[in-house]
C-alpha cells in the first residue's frame, strides 16, 4: 500500500429541500493513493459532484470521516478548510473560471495572494514556472478573450499547479472542448500524473476515462463499480488519429 492521499469512511451527505430529504451520498468508502489518476463517473444525480465537493473541502459530509493527506477534515471550521484548499488542492473546472480582465500570468498568481509569506517576485516566478509547465510561456500577457478554449484550460491547470498541491481535482475539465483539444488536455494531465501528481477527474465520458488508470462509478449515491484499467490509453498516441483543427492548440 502506498501513501493515502484520500481516505473516505462511511461518508453520507443529505440535503434538505423543504420537507424532503435528498440522500446524495449513502455511505461511501474510498481510498486514493499518492500518484493515482482516478476517474469518477456517473450520470447526473449519481452523487459524483457531491463527492467532488467533499473531497475538495467545498462541502462537509452529514456523517462519516474524510482524511486528506492523513488530516481529518470533518471537524475543521470554514477558515481551516479554506487554508487546506489553498495549500493542498488544485481545482480545474469545466468553465475555466478565469478572471476576464486579468492576464494569464495574473490569473495563475491569484492562489498565491493568500500566502502572506510570499513576496511579489516569488509569486510571479512561481506563476511563470507553472505556465511554462503547461506550454504557455508565450501567452503570459494575453487576456482570456485572446486565448482559445484549450489555452484557457491550460491557464486553469497552471493555476491549479502553482501551489504545488498534493491533489488535483478536475470537474468535467474537457466538457467545453472539442475532441482533439480534449485529448490534448488529457495528455497534459497524463504528463502531470507521470511526474507524480495525484489526480481525481470527474467525467461522464468513457473515452476520457480511458486515459485514467482507475475508474470509480457512482449511481444513486453509492459506488456501484470500481476497477483498475487493464491498460491505459496514451492520449498523445490517440491524438495521432485525429485531424488538426487549430494550430494554436497543438501540444
Q: Provide the residue-wise pLDDT of the chain in tens; the chain has 251 residues.
A: 689 999 999 999 999 999 999 999 999 999 999 999 999 999 988 999 999 999 999 998 999 999 999 999 988 888 999 999 999 999 999 888 999 999 999 999 999 998 888 999 999 999 999 999 999 999 999 999 999 999 999 999 999 999 999 999 999 999 989 999 999 999 999 999 999 999 999 999 999 999 999 999 999 999 999 999 989 999 999 999 887 765 544 44
- Indicate the SS3 state at residue 48: helix
Its pTM stands at 0.92
pLDDT, tens only, 89-108: 999 998 889 999 999 999 99
User: Could you tell me the residue ranges of all domains in the chain?
Assistant: 34-59+88-249
For position 250, what pLDDT does the model report?
44
Whole-number Å distance between alpha carbons of 201 and 161: 15
- Angle 185-25-67 (CA atoms, 0-180°, nearest 5)? 70
pLDDT, tens only, 124-171: 999 999 999 999 999 999 999 999 999 999 999 999 999 999 999 999
Whole-number Å distance between alpha carbons of 84 and 50: 18
Whole-number Å distance between alpha carbons of 233 and 210: 6
Radius of gyration of the chain (CA): 18
Neighbouring residues of 217: CB distance < 8 A, sequence distance ≥ 6: 41, 42, 223, 224, 225, 226
Q: Closest Cα to residue 38, out of 235, 167, 201?
A: 201
Whether 168 and 160 have beta carbons less than 8 Å apart is answered as: yes
For position 251, what pLDDT does the model report?
42
CATH fold label, 34-59+88-249: Rossmann fold (3.40.50)
151, containing H or E segment: helix 149-161
Grid coordinates representing 93?
Answer: 473546472
For position 1, what pLDDT does the model report?
66
Whole-number Å distance between alpha carbons of 104 and 87: 21
Whole-number Å distance between alpha carbons of 248 and 230: 34
- Indicate the SS3 state at residue 121: helix
Q: Cell 470509480 appears where?
A: 216
For position 114, what pLDDT does the model report?
85
Amino acid at each position: 500500500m502506498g501513501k493515502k492521499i484520500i481516505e473516505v469512511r462511511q461518508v453520507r451527505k443529505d440535503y434538505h429541500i423543504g420537507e424532503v430529504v435528498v440522500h446524495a451520498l449513502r455511505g461511501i468508502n474510498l481510498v486514493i493513493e499518492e500518484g493515482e489518476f482516478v476517474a469518477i463517473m456517473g450520470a447526473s444525480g449519481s452523487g459524483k459532484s457531491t463527492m467532488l465537493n467533499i473531497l475538495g473541502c467545498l462541502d462537509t459530509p452529514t456523517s462519516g470521516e474524510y482524511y486528506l493527506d492523513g488530516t481529518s477534515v470533518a471537524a475543521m471550521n470554514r477558515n481551516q478548510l479554506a487554508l487546506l484548499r489553498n495549500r493542498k488542492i488544485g481545482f480545474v473546472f469545466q468553465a475555466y473560471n478565469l478572471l476576464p480582465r486579468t492576464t494569464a500570468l495574473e490569473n495563475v498568481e491569484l492562489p498565491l495572494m493568500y500566502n502572506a509569506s510570499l513576496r511579489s517576485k516569488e509569486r510571479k516566478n512561481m506563476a511563470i514556472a507553472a505556465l511554462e509547465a503547461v506550454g504557455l510561456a508565450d501567452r503570459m500577457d494575453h487576456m482570456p478573450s485572446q486565448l482559445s478554449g484549450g489555452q484557457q484550460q491550460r491557464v486553469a491547470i497552471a493555476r491549479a499547479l502553482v501551489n504545488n498541491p498534493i491533489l488535483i481535482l478536475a470537474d468535467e475539465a474537457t466538457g467545453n472542448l472539442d475532441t482533439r483539444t480534449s485529448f490534448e488536455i488529457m495528455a497534459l494531465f497524463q504528463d502531470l500524473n507521470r511526474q507524480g501528481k495525484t489526480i481525481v477527474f470527474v467525467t461522464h465520458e468513457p473515452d476520457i476515462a480511458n486515459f485514467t488508470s482507475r475508474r470509480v462509478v457512482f449511481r444513486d449515491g453509492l459506488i456501484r463499480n470500481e476497477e483498475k484499467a487493464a491498460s491505459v490509453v496514451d492520449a498523445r498516441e490517440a491524438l495521432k488519429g485525429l485531424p488538426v483543427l487549430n494550430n494554436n492548440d497543438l501540444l
